[in-house]
Amino acid sequence: MKRAALFLLALPLVAAGPTTVIRNATVITVTKGTFVGSVLIRDGKIVEAGEKVLVPDGARVIDATGKFVMPGIIDCHSHIAADSINEGAVAVSSMVGIEDVVNPDDPDIYRALAGGVTTANVLHGSANPIGGKCEVMKMRWGKDAAGLKFEGAMPGIKFALGENVKRSGSPGGGFGNSPGLRYPASRMGVEDVIREAFTEARAYQKEWRDYQAKVDRHEQAIPPRRDLKLEPLVEVLEGKRYVHAHCYRADEILMLLRVADDFGFKVRTLQHVLEGYKVAKEIAAHGAGASTFSDWWAYKAEAYDAIPYNAALMVRKGVLVSLNSDSAELMRHLNTEAAKAMKYGGLNETEALSLVTINPAKQLGIENRVGSIEPGKDADLAIFDKHPLSNYAKVDKVFIDGELYFDREKDLEERPGKEARKKALSDKLKQQEKKERKRPESPGEKKGDEPGGAQ
């Protein structure tokens, strides 16, 4: 019995990797200044960070002389590791969620990791005014779908406004195979769909409250029928689920804020929000965060007034701002995306790095766990060989929960072996094909003309 208990106690230690000290690094804490010193990691947590840190007996020591340690990067808007993105057949698809389609084998997870990303908010697409539920995940490459989940993170849901949403209401513009046209086709319709949905959600909420009141009074009561579409919206009304709303133009941003005010909920983040700089005051007053691109513009009509000063300008007006990728590629260099907010709008280094660390952590409600180098937080760290705001910097090592999930040295070492294994497999396939070609063809079966590529 005692042995079993010990074993149980020891388990988290094993999962979290050995006690580790990263030494002689320039430590960019983001929230508590920058200094040359060490970070002590134990049981998956940051225990200490300072200029002088004692190395415990038996600790693994990583010498990072000349290198830079920063908190793992957090991407507030991603679509990696999901097998499908859009349920566009209906205007309100709050019954679906990313959680059910997570693909832990997506190589984009590893690629993001190799760019210093440790946490991402994986969202439903932008096909409908109210989309599906999101999942916040850590880039724990090698773990299964459940193992990626950022346990304890606040649930979220995707909303979307503007062009992408309207498209399904225009002939020839639909997403996927949705037959015919789908309401809405205008920004007016988008507002209506959201108001209709929350009007229903309120009524549904009342049904449950009435039922609960009866139960509390020990009266006989029949529970209402569960509605999987409205349930997440009731959670929004009750502050138990965050709204992450894709938007571009100032008018639609303001529209959504007012709808939220009318129904008494908060928009947690405005996503993309490329014209956020035009209504920064109103965004700040509502208390919404803004998660934007650094400098994308002009790829569609609603992005024509997008400016690279957006992030900095909103910061100056008191908005909580993050920079996101919305792209498996851009996700690999969010650190240098942050540098663009220094060039365009004059943020300082800490403000710039906050855009991809502590600010998105706050937006996702996980700032007590990640987003900065502070004792007690998860040991999610990225080591760069140069200052992370330099275009010449590359990622050396990445830790999540104190475990080493990316090591460039190891990656390079493993390449010849992987290459050899790949070659062996493809040789085997070729031989097999040769053998089959020699055999006479069975009727109705034709081989040898197929492309080699994967399905």
Partner 1 sequence: MRIFLTLLLALAPLSAAEPILLRGAVVHPVSGPDIPEGAVLVRDGKIAEVGAHISVPKGARVIELKGLHIYPGMIDSATELGLSEIGAVREMNDISDLGLFKPQLRASAAVNPASEHIPVTRANGITSVITSPGGGIIAGQSVLMHLNGWTMEDMAVRAPVAIRMEYPHVQMPGRFGGGEAPGRVSAYTEAKKRYEQQVRELNDFMESARRYGQAKATPGPDFETDLRLEAMLPVLDGKLPLLIRAEKEKTIKEAIAFADKQKVHMILERGAEAWKVAAELKAHDIPVILPPTLRLPDEEDDPYDKPFSVPGELYKAGVKFAFASFGPGSEDNPRNLPYQAAAAVGFGLPVEEALKAVTLYPAQIWGVGGELGSIEKGKWADLIVTDGDPLETRTEIKQVFIKGQSVDLENKHHRLYEKYLTR
Interacting residues toward partner 1 by CB under 8 A: 107-108, 110-111, 114, 163, 277-278, 280-281, 295-301, 303-305, 307-309, 313, 316, 327-330, 332-333, 336, 339-340, 342-345, 385-386, 389-394, 411, 415, 418, 422, 446, 449-451, 453-455
Query: Looking at beta carbons only, is 38 or 118 nearer to partner 1?
Result: 118
Q: How far is the CB of 131 from partner 1 (least distance, A)?
A: 20
d(CA 135, CA 434): 46
Neighbours of 6 (CB within 10 A): 10
Residue 318 CB, nearest approach to partner 1 (Å): 13
50: burial class by Cβ within 10 Å (0-12, 13-18, 19+)? middle
**Closest CB to partner 1 among residues 211, 344:** 344
Shortest Cβ 19–partner 1 spacing (Å):
28
The distance of Cα 115 from the centroid of its chain, to the nearest Å, equals 14
Q: What is the DSSP letter of 219?
A: -
Q: Which is nearer to partner 1, 259 or 313 (CB)?
A: 313
Phi, psi of 128, deg, nearest 5: -140, 155
Q: Is the CB of 165 or the CB of 339 nearer to partner 1?
A: 339
Residue 103 beta carbon to partner 1: minimum distance, rounded to whole angstroms: 12
The answer to whether 142 and 148 are in contact (CB under 8 A) is: no
Strand ordering across the sheet containing 73-78: 73-78, 117-122, 135-138
Contacts of 280 (CB under 8 A, 6+ apart): 313, 314, 316, 317, 318, 319
Shortest reach from residue 381's CB to partner 1, in Å: 19
Q: How far is CA 10 from CA 45, 82, 358, in A?
A: 15, 33, 31
CB atoms within 10 A of CB 34: 18
Shortest distance, position 312 Cβ to partner 1, whole Å: 9
